[in-house]
Chains A and B, each alone.
Chain A
Amino acid sequence: TQLLEQSPQFLSIQEGENLTVYCNSSSVFSSLQWYRQEPGEGPVLLVTVVTGGEVKKLKRLTFQFGDARKDSSLHITAAQPGDTGLYLCAGAAGGYQKVTFGTGTKLQVIP
């Protein structure tokens, strides 16, 4: 079973601060996804990265896929209370292989 470890597990910051969440594995992935989940709801896809070294931006969120395709990071600039939630990374080994989810980072942005 491939493992994806996220850090930190919990993060509580003030509105306006920047933060970075990390997703690490010893396995190589063909694609890596990031999701945000609200309590009691299903995760919502934020981005998929497929190329080593790829950087994608979604407004204040910047996603990076490691060169070796074993790790990824999510950087949020000027965090807002609406960014509060559980952030999950997920890796796919290739083709239709099963997707493994990371352990999650619970973010709280205090107004």
Chain B
Amino acid sequence: EAQVTQNPRYLITVTGKKLTVTCSQNMNHEYMSWYRQDPGLGLRQIYYSMNVEVTDKGDVPEGYKVSRKEKRNFPLILESPSPNQTSLYFCASSSFNYGYTFGSGTRLTVV
């Protein structure tokens, strides 16, 4: 089944403790992206990647890192999480611009 798999689904962590949210797709898509979704603010793009080793900042990249060493994986790294990074995170992939396939989301709480 074609899908984007994110892990974990839920995560509660403390301020400053480094964490990684994994994202993997099995559709051989070139384009992958991370979004956060917050009430009243909608979906905002954090980082995107057009292919292996090619990444670029979205609208809200501060406090996040990404890497794209393999085509299928696009992890999101929070080096020193803060409470304002509490959010619902989505990974998505696409072939060209014909529409995203989204993961099921990761609900992150930073206390």
Q: Which residues of A contact B (CB under 8 A)?
A: 1, 30-31, 33, 35, 40-45, 47-48, 88, 90, 92, 94-104
Question: Closest approach, in angstroms, between the C-beta of A105 and any C-beta of chain B?
Answer: 11
- Give residues of chain B (42-58) contacting chain A, Cβ–Cβ below 8 Å: 42-45, 48, 50, 56, 58
Could you list 13 examples of A-B contacts with CB < 8 Å? Answer: A31-B97, A33-B99, A40-B88, A41-B104, A45-B99, A47-B99, A88-B42, A94-B97, A96-B30, A96-B97, A98-B33, A99-B33, A103-B42
Report if B1 contacts A (CB, 8 A).
no
Question: Closest approach, in angstroms, between the C-beta of A103 and any C-beta of chain B?
Answer: 5
A31 touches B50 (CB 8 A): no
Report if B70 contacts A (CB, 8 A).
no
Given contacts A40-B105, A98-B58, 4 further A-B contacts (CB under 8 A): A43-B102, A88-B43, A101-B42, A101-B43
Question: Closest approach, in angstroms, between the C-beta of A10 and any C-beta of chain B?
Answer: 12
Report if B7 contacts A (CB, 8 A).
no
Complex Cα–Cα for A92 and B4 (A): 20
**What total count of A-B pairs have CB within 8 Å?**
63
Task: List residues of chain B with CB within 8 A of the CB of A30.
Answer: 97
Interface size bucket, B side? 20 to 34
A42 touches B104 (CB 8 A): yes
Report if B66 contacts A (CB, 8 A).
no
B45 touches A98 (CB 8 A): yes
Report if B74 contacts A (CB, 8 A).
no
Complex Cα–Cα for A102 and B98 (A): 17
A42 touches B92 (CB 8 A): yes
| 6 tightest A-B CB contacts, nearest first | A42-B102, A92-B97, A45-B99, A101-B43, A96-B50, A48-B99
Task: List residues of chain A with CB within 8 A of the CB of B96.
Answer: 95-96
Q: Which chain A residue lies CB-closest to B104?
A: A42
